[in-house]
Structure 1
Amino acid sequence: MSDYSKWLMYAGAAGAIGLSLAVGYWRGCMSLQPDIIVKSLVSLRKSHLHKDKVIKYIENNSFRLLQVQRKLIEVTMKHPSRIMLGSTDELQLLQNLVSLIKGRKTLDIGVFTGYSALAIALVLPEDGKVVACDVSEEFARIGKPFWKEAGVDHKIDLRIAPALETLQKLVDAGESGTFDFAFIDADKENYLKYYTLCMTLVRSGGIIAIDNVLLGDSVADPEIVHAKTLAIRELNQYVYADQRVNISMLNIADGVTLCFKK
């Protein structure tokens, strides 16, 4: 199969223009050369995008999905912007970390169809809360029935507004240092601002998880100078130098950095 065919397969679009219109976080990529976009998309290691035998083995021997999670994945995979769906191996790791620190109060920045909010809510105690931030009611509406079916809808506080505004309102309301966990998976150009606000909101001993830190491996390719890639490179360098956290950048899904606040 040619690279161009792979491009169409991953994007689910009729052509190059369709890709940039259909794929959520690749909007604005029209300024990139097609071969660079192809290389970045094909390198994504999200579990639901691959039929690789090793990925399949991991799925069969590690993933512990509830039926409601599987149903939400199936519905989301029919959506034109399905590439934005979080990877199960990554989210299961985050669930384990939230459980490990006995998290109760969490942030989900970038909801899409609600798969990550659902995953986090499932491991929270009954009085736990996910403040879920997104600008799209249309996308979030897809996940709401599944939140209810899973019995966790009361734990998810959906805020439809620019996430920077929501986070700043939480700071202004005196909630600094009261969150146990934050997951950043939204517009890449604002990642550093999200991280800065999360560092204010998350307590000492809490965790900030940052998705897409490899961005289809584009961060390691000096030929790629697109705004999204530059933003992630800047974020990665900033976090690496930030002595307020212990970090681990993991080569799973599209790359995730775990920041453990000291």
Structure 2
Amino acid sequence: MATNTQEQQSQAGRHQEVGHKSLLQSDALYQYILETSVYPREPEPMKELRELTAKHPWNLMTTSADEGQFLNMLLKLINAKNTMEIGVYTGYSLLATALAIPDDGKILAMDVNRENYELGLPVIQKAGVAHKIDFKEGPALPVLDQLVEDEKNHGSFDFIFVDADKDNYLNYHKRLIELVKVGGLIGYDNTLWNGSVVAPPDAPLRKYVRYYRDFVMELNKALAVDPRIEICMLPVGDGITLCRRLK
């Protein structure tokens, strides 16, 4: 009979070997979700951008199709209009947002790499939603500090999505909690981090997974006790934690 440690190591190994970003144990079950409810309803521009991104060498950085569908519906449910995205890559989640918000909605989008964003930009333009996006190249923290300095920006964002450098998530949170409105949402992506948050200390993890794991776990602990928000951690994609500002 396997020991608990052996079972944990086996489980961690399964998480590491899964090719997609879902934490579902069964690849077949995940494929069922995609083929039954995601791909048939995926807007054509999002499909085009997803397939374009799949050819990029860093394609694991993209938001999964099921998470894109979730974000699109979530934004419609909360009637989001003024939004922010930190970490854009080729823009799959950005496009999901742009398609969901009204024609006069706005997205402040930030990424350190404009080249990746411009890969997806023609698809975004063809979808007719590029006018909603204000893209800024460079680190997000200086931009956030400028926004926080002006009190008119406090509580002005309906929704903020963070999918960027995990070692700065807590630094982002300190600023974003001032910028999102009371009742608004912040979504932190990758909060289950390849399942590594439950892996034993000696589990064979990829170097980047091991490096960022502690930052992700530190964020999760901080969000769990932050009295200014209520949270919901969902096993969608690589894990997303929704934070609703209370005060």
TM over 0.5, yes or no?
Answer: yes
| TM-score normalised by structure 2 residue count | 0.85
SS of residue in 2 equivalent to 1:103: coil
Q: CA deviation at 1:222?
A: 3.8
SS of residue in 1 equivalent to 2:193: coil
Equivalent of 1:58 in 13, 25, 33 = 33
Q: CA deviation at 1:90?
A: 1.5
Check conservation: 2:184, 2:244, Cα contact below 8 A.
Answer: yes
Residues 1:139 and 2:116 aligned together: yes
Question: Could you say which residue in structure 1 is the equivalent of 2:198?
Answer: 220
Check conservation: 1:76, 1:82, Cα contact below 8 A.
Answer: yes
Q: What is the distance in 2 between the residues matched to 1:55 and 1:218?
A: 19
SS of residue in 1 equivalent to 2:184: strand
| Relative contact order, higher structure (CA 8 A, sep 6+) | 2
Check conservation: 1:45, 1:254, Cα contact below 8 A.
Answer: no
| TM-score normalised by structure 1 residue count | 0.80
Residues 1:102 and 2:79 aligned together: yes
Question: Could you say which residue in structure 2 is the equivalent of 1:172?
Answer: 149
Q: Deviations over 1:186-242 (max 9, x none)?
A: 011001111221111100010111110011111112416943111001000000001
* Aligned length in residues: 226
Q: What is the distance in 1 between the residues matched to 2:227 and 2:42?
A: 36
SS of residue in 2 equivalent to 1:59: helix
Residues 1:200 and 2:184 aligned together: no
Moved more, 196-205 or 221-230: 221-230
Residues 1:237 and 2:214 aligned together: no
Question: Could you say which residue in structure 2 is the equivalent of 1:191?
Answer: 169
Question: Could you say which residue in structure 2 is the equivalent of 1:10?
Answer: none
Check conservation: 2:155, 2:178, Cα contact below 8 A.
Answer: yes
Q: CA deviation at 1:52?
A: 2.6
Question: Could you say which residue in structure 1 is the equivalent of 2:17?
Answer: 42
Unaligned runs of 5+ in 2: 1-9, 203-208
Check conservation: 2:163, 2:189, Cα contact below 8 A.
Answer: yes
Identity of aligned residues (%): 42
Question: Could you say which residue in structure 2 is the equivalent of 1:181?
Answer: 159
Q: CA deviation at 1:61?
A: 2.3
Unaligned runs of 5+ in 1: 1-34
Q: What is the distance in 1 between the residues matched to 2:15 and 2:166?
A: 15
Amino acid corresponding to residue 104 of structure 1 in structure 2? K
Question: Could you say which residue in structure 2 is the equivalent of 1:259?
Answer: 243
Residues 1:248 and 2:225 aligned together: no
Cα 1:132/1:194, change in 2 over 3 Å? same
Residues 148-163 of structure 1 mapped to structure 2, 5 A cutoff: 148-163=125-140
Amino acid corresponding to residue 211 of structure 2 in structure 1? A
Equivalent of 1:74 in 28, 47, 51 = 51
